[in-house]
Structure 1
Amino acid sequence: METAVKTKWSVDNSHSEVGFKVKHMMISTVKGHFGEYEASIVSSKEDFSDAQFGFSAKTASINTKNDDRDNHLKSDDFFNTSEYPEMTFTSTSFNGDKLVGDLTIRDVTKEVILDVDLNGVAVDPYGQTKAGFEIRGKINRKDFNLTWSAVTEAGSIVVADTVTLVIDAQFVKQQ
């Protein structure tokens, strides 16, 4: 019996973003991203239906365009980047639309389900084969011990519990 050849794909950081958004005071949305991350896919099928996804991000690379907020997010109130320098994701299944896997933030690992759109596969002008994905999902930050909370004088929650993951990733086929 012939075994399928597995192809490795590596993230193209210059054409990708690992972002998130969360409600602030329930009236506006704050967006951010992680600047330092790695991701890969291993698949033997051109439609990626058997793909295995792996991801890690340096938690200290969080960027919301506000130094005070970023420093708070790096503190023990949230990511505690000194003790937990990375967050990781390892897929357990992928059916082309839904990506299921284990997300680890701080010292907590939980199964998450993410929606995936494969935007296509194309060869760039330099002969490299690339694949583009849009990955979306929601997590409850408190499930991962990101539990800091505050309430305004008017009773509004300062930071919502639900965080929306917004990942746009382009991968390069490795030879």
Structure 2
Amino acid sequence: MATTKWALDPMHSELQFKVKHLMITTVTGSFNDFSAELITESEDFDGATVSFKAGVDSVDTGNGDRDGHLKSGDFFNADEFPSITFSSTSFSKAGGDYKLTGDLTIKDVTKPVTLDVEFGGTVTDLYGQNKAGFSISGKFNRTDFGLTWNAALETGGVVVSEEVRILGELQFVKQA
């Protein structure tokens, strides 16, 4: 079978991250500028190649001061490292769904991560476009990527958890 390219449909996709704040609540953020593509070699997505890129300057937590802090040298250092990237090393079936493993690069640090991928299915939309949907989830330790800023609380604990959860709802369009 020929190689098939699937491009992200940004109007029907979102990428979020969640971290604990003060160890008692969860703050949700997103990237408003991101792209992704899938390259498949078969009728299903087993063995697909996945690439992803997010613009750090598009980070959005609903709070301008917090967003500015995340873009600063304490966290992402958007001026020096404007993008977060992911490149798959494996996309394999796990039951009816998939496991996605690849190299995540934040700042100048690249580490392997594995994400769970729930396959939503494929459908032809009202315009005749073939679409595929995926829900992605996983987690990583932010300090592994040099995102080490934190402050201790008088009551114990820290301001920001080390664990970051990733949640994505991604819709792709099959390219001709």
Alignment TM-score, normalising by the size of structure 1: 0.97
Paired with 1:46 and 1:116, the residues of 2 have a C-alpha distance of: 17
Distance 1:149 1:18 in 2: 24
Q: Distance in 1 between matches of 2:43 and 2:68?
A: 42
Percent identical across equivalent pairs? 53
State the 1:46 CA deviation: 2.0
Cα distance, 1:153 vs structure 2: 1.9
Matched, 1:50 2:53: no
Cα distance in 2 for residues equivalent to 1:86 and 1:46: 31
For the pair 1:109 / 2:110, whether they are aligned, the reply is yes
Amino acid at match of 2:27: V
Offset at residue 139 of structure 1 (A): 0.5
RMSD: 0.7
* CA deviation map 1:16-55 (0-9, x unaligned): 0011101101110000100001100000222200210000
Residue 60 of structure 1 aligns with an amino acid whose one-letter code is: D
Give the superposition deviation at 1:152.
1.8
- SS of residue matched to 1:159: coil
User: Deviation string for 1:134-165 (max 9, x for gaps)?
Assistant: 11110100000000011122123110000000
What is the rounded CA distance, in whole Å, between the counterparts of 2:61 and 2:118 in structure 1?
A: 25
4+ runs of 1 displaced by more than 2 Å?
none
1:119 matched to which residue of 2? 120
Moved more, 89-98 or 101-110: 89-98
SS of the residue corresponding to residue 158 of structure 1 reads: coil
1:132 aligns with 2:152: no
Paired position in structure 2 for 1:78: 75
Deviations 1:65-115 (A, max 9, x none): 000100000000000000000010000011122101000000000000000
Work out whether 1:5 is the aligned partner of 2:7.
no
